[in-house]
Amino acid sequence: MNLTLTEDQSMIQEMARKFAQAELAPIAEKLDHEGDRELFLQNLKKLAELGFMGLNIESEYGGTETGTVVLSLALTEIARACSSTAVTMSVTNMVAEVIQAIASEEQKSHYLPKLCSGEYAAGGFCLTETTAGSDPSNMKTTAVLEGDEWVINGAKQFITSAEYAGVFVVWAVTDASLPKGKGISCFLVESSAPGLLISKAEKKMGQTASSTNEVLFDNCRIPKKALMGELNQGFKIAVGELAGGRIGIGSVALGIGLAAMDYARTYTTERQQFGQPIANFQGLQWMMADAYTDLEASRLLLMNAADKKSKGLPFSKEASMAKLFASEKANKACYTALQLLGGYGYIKDYPLERYARDVRITSLYEGTSEIQRVIISRELLREIG
């Protein structure tokens, strides 16, 4: 297996790294502590202009057609500077990929250019509900056809970027008489749709610059043609796209873990105790060695899953493995980095406490670590079934 990046892949990775260092890193602390929606949206627009909001989208729709490997590489670099920006980029790319995969030509031509260009600041992925988290097939949101309109009623929880998303991909029950998970359909709902309401942003532990909201549908009316894909076949679409999203979130986790360890590694060469830099102590050296080994293994798992997806091969198991390992090891790396700073790691003047807060969610969203283990074990048993 050739693990060397192509010239184009390396170029885009470097572009993401330079943008993150120049535009995102200097303001990440400000966005975390104070919030600045205008500044945050400005950077999303800049990312779109660089082509980062449609990395796996065909050029005829405004995308850059660079593939899943590049998407993973770019997300890792963006997350090293600002994970709030990275998660918005990840979800928007995922929304665009759903549309490209199953939408009609008319829908693709209308919505994809707006997502890729930044005309829409972000896209919303409306799947999770209060009673449908780890079990999305248990959703209660409904869509009923009345004449030439679908009428949606229900609520979606924990929706990234809901406040500034231009379009939402929404799943709803369209035939409750079918077995659970079989009567679900997928819709495109514009933010201006009558009856669509956005609740105030949740007060989160981390990734605070990215808004997370409840999205309410109160007799929300959308055109009949807003149905995306086949009627009552939406659940398998959701399951498939979540697998791709796990590569994105694993990449975000990796970026946060690397940022934490890079900061701590430099700190250990500057901090003096017992008359010498603390980097000289073997105990701390081994902590760094273990953390970086875990993060490198995470990178390889992510590249393997991304490569399989790019080649059109089955990748669900590999994506879950990568997301599970990367998110858990990134959490551990942030804890290790904080420990290397000692008391200073607990103070907000240093970025470690932000990394520790930001990374925690990566083992929860796009499927918890426990759900990833369910998926992995199910696939392992299916292989011998």
Side chain identity at residue 47, one-letter code: L
Give the integer Cα–Cα distance in Å for 262 and 120: 34
Tell me the mean pLDDT in the region 72-97: 98
Please tell me the predicted confidence (pLDDT) of residue 1: 62
The pLDDT tens digits for 91-128 are: 999 999 999 999 999 999 999 999 999 999 999 999 99
Tell me the mean pLDDT in the region 165-187: 95
Please tell me the predicted confidence (pLDDT) of residue 321: 98
Tell me the mean pLDDT in the region 268-277: 96
Strand partners for 173: 142, 184
Please tell me the predicted confidence (pLDDT) of residue 2: 78
Q: Which residue has the tokens 């669900």?
A: 316
Tell me the mean pLDDT in the region 202-223: 97
Per the prediction, the chain carries an average pLDDT of 96
Q: Given 106, 366, 379, 383, which residue is catalytic? A: 366
Tell me the mean pLDDT in the region 23-37: 94
Give the integer Cα–Cα distance in Å for 196 and 203: 21
* DSSP strand pairing (227-228 vs 272-273): unpaired
Please tell me the predicted confidence (pLDDT) of residue 133: 85
Q: In this model, does residue 31 exceed pLDDT 80?
A: yes
Side chain identity at residue 324, one-letter code: L
Residues in Cβ contact with 340 at an 8 Å cutoff, skipping those fewer than 6 apart: 264, 265, 267, 268, 278, 284, 287, 288
Q: Which residue has the tokens 């995470």?
A: 298
The band of 240, judged by pLDDT with boundaries at 50, 70 and 90, is confident
Strand partners for 213: 159
Closest C-alpha among 82, 166, 83, 157 to residue 124 = 166
Give the integer Cα–Cα distance in Å for 330 and 31: 22
The pLDDT tens digits for 341-360 are: 999 999 999 999 999 999 99
Using the 8-state DSSP alphabet, how is residue 23 labeled? I
Two tokens, residue 117 = 């260009």
B/e letters for 100-122, b = 16+ CB within 10 Å, e = fewer, are bebbeeebbebbbbbbbebebbb
- Has 366 been annotated as catalytic? yes
This prediction's pTM: 0.96
Tell me the mean pLDDT in the region 179-201: 95
Query: Strands (DSSP E) along the chain, which ranges?
Result: 122-126, 142-146, 149-160, 165-173, 184-190, 196-198, 212-223, 227-228, 272-273, 276-277
Work out the burial of residue 96: count CB atoms within 10 Å of its CB; fewer than 13 is exposed, 13-18 middle, 19 or more buried.
buried
Closest C-alpha among 9, 81, 90, 33 to residue 258 = 81
The pLDDT tens digits for 295-328 are: 999 999 999 999 999 999 999 999 999 999 999 9
> What percentage of the chain exceeds 90 in pLDDT?
93
Which domains does the chain show, CATH number per domain? 7-120 (1.10.540.10), 124-232 (2.40.110.10), 238-383 (1.20.140.10)
Tell me the mean pLDDT in the region 23-48: 96
Lowest-confidence region among 44-53, 125-134, 268-277: 125-134
